[in-house]
Structure 1
Amino acid sequence: MADNQVSDIGSHVHLHAKGLSIPFAAFFIVGEIAGSGVLALPKAIDDSGWIGLILLVVYTLISSYTGGILGESWLIILEKHPEYKTHCPDPYPTLAEKTFGKKGRYLVSFSINFTLFGGSTVFLLLASQNIEHLIEDWFDVNESFCIWLVILAAVVCPLTWFGTPVDFWPVAVGATCTTGVACIILIIKVAMDAGSYSTVLHSSTEFQPFSMAFGTLMFAIGGHPAFPTIQADMKKPGNFKWAVLLGFTVVLFMYLPLTSLAYFVYGKNVQPNILQMSTGVINQVVEVLITIHLLMALLIVINPVCQELESLVKVPKHFTWKRCMFRSMVVASVLFVAETIPKFNDILSLVGGSTVTLLAYICPPLFYLKLKSVTSHEAMLMNDGNVEVVSLSGETGGLPLWVKVMNIEIILLGAVPGIISTYSALKSIIGSDFSKPCYV
């Protein structure tokens, strides 16, 4: 076996020497997740009441766990199918196919593309709106954000031509750092606004706003569609669970202080985008940082979509003009959707309550339970022949009853609120007037 293809299952060494370490994988996780949540979560917490703060902590912990078992499931697939250790452009759909067949693959593939494509559209919309506000404040030029959509799409497009996450790790570092600094500044700004309102009132907790707030919460912490792609680029894929834990810890330390302060300082006065609460230099600095993050996060979330679609149309894995043309077409499609539906609140809740919930809280436990059950059965069969099968996690397969029950509960905790949130988001979209497309 060549030096660059040495594999040690016990230590989970990746076949590629130049892979992501735990910190850099965590950077990608934070860079993908944080950003839009910083802007939208304060309003979602007000709509859900103080219990929203508890839900934020609980579901962040659950997301960390499901991200970890999603990684463990992929390790089992790698053990059974070593050919995927060199390259797999669509690890999550492949995992679904090996677990539940073609139907599982189709469902997961659609959900991933819907989630990441929708997320890319939201990121482009938010970045363009921020640029519009900044240019208006700085130069007193009132240029429509519809024009900025085109400009930003043109700027981002060449950067999408990089192959996989390992090829553009500085983007993940930049996305994480800009959001971290923006959160610190925002926390200080909100703390300085304490006492601005003589009486802090909170919105009454009603069914539809609460359920839509759940969708926003899921969108803000559900980065699972891109997780297997990040894991596939790690030096030691078996360490992915530690990257997930580190990433979600950082995300929680970003979200919780800001949303808590905003809840008690602004109450129901908080805007859907917290940057709309005030103006001035501090606000502009935060707006610049968040805009940089949104553009970098767009690069991260659009990459798995491009890789999977490229595998379907047989675009070569190495850098060619075909990749440039194909990914430019994907960016053009994102731009078209953004120009057609120039709003994001309801869509964010719809995506969060439907496909994000499916990919973050339903599929990982289902895959994990199924694969562990199959692994346990195979181990028993092999043991009858005096041969012991050891999984990549160092276990002979099988799960304790309490672990099975916990995973079933997680599925229910995702499925029931997710269905309600999806219904409420659809009802809101159908019952409201759509903004006119930019090209009308």
Structure 2
Amino acid sequence: MAASDHHQTPTLPLLIKFHDVEKGSSTVEPHTLNSTKTTSFLTTTFNGLNALSGVGILSVPYALSSGGWLSLILLFAIAGTTFYTGLLIKKCMEVDPDIRSYPDIGHKAFGPKGRLLVSIFMNLELYLVATGFLILAGDNLHNLLPDVRIDVFGIVINGRQSFVLLVALILTPTVLIDNMTTLSYISATGVFASVIILASILWSGMSEGIGFRHKGVLLNWSGLPTAFSLYAFCYCAHPVFPTLYTSMTNRRHFSGVLFVCFTFCTFAYVTTAVLGYLMFGGELQSQITLNLPTDRLSSKVAVYTALITPISKYGLMLKPIVETIESHFRSCCEKRFYGLFVKTGLVGSSVVVALTLPFFGSLMSLVGASLSVTASILLPCFCYLKISYRKIGIESAFIVFALLMGLVILVVGTYTSFLEIVHSL
């Protein structure tokens, strides 16, 4: 989630509406933006920042501590590569004005199988990022209130598990809301939350007695796979780039939108990572908010602001999945009871996964290494090669570099993250 909370993630932009469109396939995919071109450069930039910024800002200090100072080179490499693959998505969409979503690009390149493949990776990534929100909220609330427990009919639930359940109950209404305009305005708070978190971390280091005393290590080879995966998670918003592009009044300026968004988010990620590593060194936990002293005002501001992210993003994360399920079972889901069952079932299943895999860092690393890399690096390259690439030149070197980087992160990062989760069980 990029990691890209990828990502993190891929969060959905402001002013989003969903509608179903059937294009050359029996599979009906949810599209994520009104087809009318109404957004300006500034509005689209804000939407892009909302898509790129997320829970990745909490995990990027841990990524730096895992790989060491030189791993920042990897962050810049991933930022540049994902910016370039974002431009490839733009080029793919310029070929056919009927392309309005990421699955549409997959269909244009590889037919119905391409649409299905892109949909699977996109929806699975959204589901796991939403699950990561529950883990994030549970960890931070338990850190602030370690003695809280829930007693339900004699069954006592202690620790972070109780907070995961409480947060899921609070977030369920956002999943049940069908008015996407309402949900999208709620999600806009995530952008401001990232800025507040960064300011709170700086405040903690400067005025709360923590300081910036740790020197860290130059390079930690064993931690590079984890760092690579978490950095990739920070730039996982590519599935929503087509919706941003189609919404613009002047689409020629979309490259500028991407440049501003990637520059701003990279600055925020690097600043947070450096501050966190100087403050806590190798003792950094999977979320920097877990390192902050709970009795300090700045720490409480950072933690409570971090909790805004799940509230603002959770419903929008699951909405495309709900739309996909309902499109396949339309006759049943037209009845209100079945629609309610689908939505609450998704929330319940994500709670089960969050309780089973309570390892935020490892889960986000796995999502970044497998799903985010596939959706943000590999698929844009393959689709572009199939749709519009016609000659061999300097662009070939960029595409080969992007594919090699993506494959390395996919194989090594997924293997390392999977082992970390298994060993933690």
Does 1:294 pair with 2:310? Answer: yes
Does 1:363 pair with 2:379? Answer: yes
- Mapped partners of 1:156, 1:236: distance in 2: 36
Does 1:73 pair with 2:65? Answer: no
- Mapped partners of 1:239, 1:322: distance in 2: 43
Provide the residue aligned with 1:219 in structure 2.
233
2:164 to 136, 141, 149: 149
Secondary structure, counterpart of 2:307 in structure 1: helix
Does 1:417 pair with 2:405? Answer: no
The answer (yes or no) to whether the contact 2:212–2:275 under 8 Å persists in 1 is no
Secondary structure, counterpart of 1:266 in structure 2: helix
The amino acid that maps onto 1:118 is L
The answer (yes or no) to whether the contact 2:176–2:340 under 8 Å persists in 1 is yes
Does 1:407 pair with 2:399? Answer: yes
The amino acid that maps onto 2:137 is A
Does 1:264 pair with 2:278? Answer: yes
Deviation at 1:286, TM superposition (A): 0.6
The answer (yes or no) to whether the contact 2:86–2:380 under 8 Å persists in 1 is yes
The answer (yes or no) to whether the contact 1:219–1:348 under 8 Å persists in 2 is yes
Does 1:206 pair with 2:216? Answer: no
Provide the residue aligned with 1:172 in structure 2.
187
- Mapped partners of 2:343, 2:195: distance in 1: 29
User: CA 1:72–1:42 in 2, change beyond 3 Å: closer, same or farther?
Assistant: same
Deviation at 1:230, TM superposition (A): 4.7
Provide the residue aligned with 1:64 in structure 2.
83
The answer (yes or no) to whether the contact 1:191–1:261 under 8 Å persists in 2 is no
**Greater CA deviation, 31-40 or 174-183?**
31-40
The amino acid that maps onto 1:259 is A
Does 1:30 pair with 2:49? Answer: yes
The answer (yes or no) to whether the contact 1:162–1:168 under 8 Å persists in 2 is yes
Deviation at 1:358, TM superposition (A): 0.9
2:61 to 38, 42, 49: 42
Q: Which runs of 5+ in 1 are unaligned?
A: 1-13, 86-90, 374-397, 435-440
1:342 to 358, 361, 372: 358
The amino acid that maps onto 1:145 is R
- Mapped partners of 2:335, 2:308: distance in 1: 26
The answer (yes or no) to whether the contact 2:121–2:371 under 8 Å persists in 1 is yes
Deviation at 1:369, TM superposition (A): 2.4
Deviation at 1:356, TM superposition (A): 0.9
- Mapped partners of 1:249, 1:315: distance in 2: 46
The answer (yes or no) to whether the contact 1:353–1:417 under 8 Å persists in 2 is yes
Larger radius of gyration: 1
- Mapped partners of 1:357, 1:69: distance in 2: 15
- Mapped partners of 1:27, 1:317: distance in 2: 34
Deviation at 1:237, TM superposition (A): 5.7
The share of aligned pairs that are identical, in percent, is 23
The answer (yes or no) to whether the contact 2:60–2:272 under 8 Å persists in 1 is no
User: CA 1:267–1:132 in 2, change beyond 3 Å: closer, same or farther?
Assistant: closer
2:174 to 148, 159, 173: 159
- Mapped partners of 2:368, 2:355: distance in 1: 21
The amino acid that maps onto 2:285 is Q
Root mean square deviation of aligned Cα:
3.1
The answer (yes or no) to whether the contact 1:113–1:305 under 8 Å persists in 2 is yes
TM-score, with length taken from structure 1: 0.77
Q: For 1:208-246, what per-residue CA distance to the aligned partner results, in whole angstroms no more than 9, with x for missing partners?
A: x21122111111222223333454555566654443333
User: CA 1:212–1:56 in 2, change beyond 3 Å: closer, same or farther?
Assistant: same
- The total of aligned residue pairs comes to 383
Q: For 1:76-110, what per-residue CA distance to the aligned partner results, in whole angstroms no more than 9, with x for missing partners?
A: 23x2xx4x66xxxxx22232122023333333222
User: CA 1:56–1:324 in 2, change beyond 3 Å: closer, same or farther?
Assistant: same
Provide the residue aligned with 2:129 in structure 1.
119
Provide the residue aligned with 2:139 in structure 1.
129
The answer (yes or no) to whether the contact 1:46–1:263 under 8 Å persists in 2 is yes
2:72 to 40, 53, 57: 53
Does 1:104 pair with 2:96? Answer: no
User: CA 1:254–1:16 in 2, change beyond 3 Å: closer, same or farther?
Assistant: same
User: CA 1:300–1:72 in 2, change beyond 3 Å: closer, same or farther?
Assistant: farther
- Mapped partners of 1:152, 1:96: distance in 2: 35
The answer (yes or no) to whether the contact 1:28–1:169 under 8 Å persists in 2 is no
Secondary structure, counterpart of 2:220 in structure 1: coil
